[in-house]
Each structure stands twice: as C-alpha cells, then as structure tokens.
Structure 1
C-alpha cells in the first residue's frame, strides 16, 4: 500500500503541473470568474485544494499551522497559489516516503473544522486525501474546457503509462 500512496503523490504533482500550465493561459479575471461550482471559481477550487491538503497533512504529521477553514482564497495570484501547492506536494511526498505498514494500520484521531471529533483508519484518510484532490482537479479540468481550453490529460493511468512510477516501485 505504501507504494500506491507514493505513486499517488507523484501523480498528484504531475496532474497539478498540467492543470497549472493550462490555468496560466487564462487571465486572472477568468480564473476568478464566478461559476456555479463548489467554491465558486477555478482559483477558489485550487485554493481549497491547497488548504485541504495543508489541513490533512497537518493531521497526518502533527506539524504545520492549523487550518481553520478550507473555503478561503489566500492565494488569488496564480504564481503564489502554485508555490503553495508545491509546498504541500513536497510535504505529502515526504510523509508517504516515511510511511510503514504499522502506521497505515493505525487510527487517526482528529477534530473537523466544525469541531467534531473523529477517529478513522489512517489508510482510509490518506485514500480520501488523494481522492479529494482528484475530484476537485476534475472540476478544474472541466472548467478549463468551459473556457475553451483543452487541458492535457490528467488520468492516473496516463501518468503511469508516461512515467512507469508504480511499475518502477516493483508493483506492476
């Protein structure tokens, strides 16, 4: 399972790079244009992803600043947003590199942003972490298309065909 999560880290960075490259071709006003989607715009969804990644990585590692809300837009400028995203990508990769089977079997206890105590298997929370990213990247990908951009493919198996990351970890 560790190899799968390590692959997902690399996949996320690869998919993010493709989306950010496409987003860079849009004007800041277009990125922030209101839309009837979660969080209201492309840049707001991307900010949500950074904040949610930061929130979960702080829960996973016990390190980092608390994230009181995942609905804010602290990075309205794409360059700042991309830099923040890269920081969280690096944190995720470091965390996954350090995982062991025993840790994956543990329960993660945390408090939600609304104050609800939770206790769930770490492996499930980590799977949610990656699934959440995929979900919102799909929204961004669709919105880019709605603005006339054909963004590069961000499919997990396309990543594997291009990089052989999972196979390279001896998991083919």
Structure 2
C-alpha cells in the first residue's frame, strides 16, 4: 500500500471514529456529565472535545495552509456542546480532500512549522501526519474511558471495524 492510500484510509477513519463518537455516544450525555471533571488530561468531555478541535485546526493549518496558529491547547473554542461538536465534525472532514491533492513525493519531505513557544521545527512529513491521526485516536480513547466510567456504552472505534465495513461495500 502506498503512503497516499495509507493516509487516505487514516483520514477516512478519523472522520468515521469522530462522527461515531459524537453522534452516538457523546450525544446522550447529560449536560452535567458533558462538563464533569473525569480526570482526563483536559478534565471533562467538553474540554477534551475542544482540545481535539484546537489541535485538528492547528495541524491542518500547519500542513495544508502553511502557517502555525499560536493558541493554547486548552482553549475553549466553543462553550456550547452543539457548536463544539459541529465544529469538530466539520474539521475532521478537511483532511481527505487535502490529502488527495498531494503528490506522492511529498510524503518523503519535511514539515516546517513554529511551535507555540516560537521554536522553529522541521520534522519528517509522513510521521508528523501520522501523529495528527494518532493524537486524535488517543483522545477518543480517553473519551471512551470517560464514558465507561460514567456507566455509558463505550463505542467500538477500532480502525479494523471501518476496514471491515469498507470491505463489505461494493
């Protein structure tokens, strides 16, 4: 499998898992549980969803737009649940169309960007892109653990389930 196809699959998974978590599992939480401190790195489900949105926006800007927004990783972009979920639902859909524009040799290059502290960084492009999707998977896992701790059904978000679903489609 080429890197183009691999990252295309990861981008589809990013959308599928995020939408499933938002539309099925987090949708049924009470407002109190949505904001409850669950001991997550960003404390609550609300804080973690906002963090996912902040970081998706940062990394998309670095990769697709060539600039590095300087914004705290715990910034609350949306105070209201519906707005935060809708913004994240939209944000994750940007990756697939952008990836389709990349020439294969781009994956062998570097990604240069500026960290929040002003440090200039240049790292290998493909592993950095992998980080974007891996990071989101990590925090979706935290949200799944929070749901389980609240005695809510935990979603089955393994990538293999999407791959099996796609294999069944004509």
The TM-score, its normalising length taken from structure 2, stands at 0.90
Structure number with greater CO (CA < 8 Å, separation at least 6) is: 1
Give how far 1:64 is off: 7.5
When residues 65 and 27 of structure 1 are mapped into structure 2, their CA distance, relative to the original with a 3 A threshold, is farther
Structure 1 unaligned regions, length at least 5: none
Contact 1:24 1:78 in 2 (8 A): no
Secondary structure (helix, strand or coil) at the match of 1:164 reads helix
Query: 1:44 is matched with which residue: 38, 41, 47?
Result: 47
Query: 2:155 is matched with which residue: 143, 148, 152?
Result: 152
Give how far 1:116 is off: 1.5
Give how far 1:18 is off: 1.6
Number of equivalent positions: 167
Give how far 1:34 is off: 1.2
Query: 1:95 is matched with which residue: 91, 94, 98?
Result: 98
What's the Cα RMSD here? Answer: 1.9
Deviations 1:15-35 (A, max 9, x none): 112211211101122111112
The TM-score, its normalising length taken from structure 1, stands at 0.89
Is 1:117–2:120 an aligned residue pair? yes
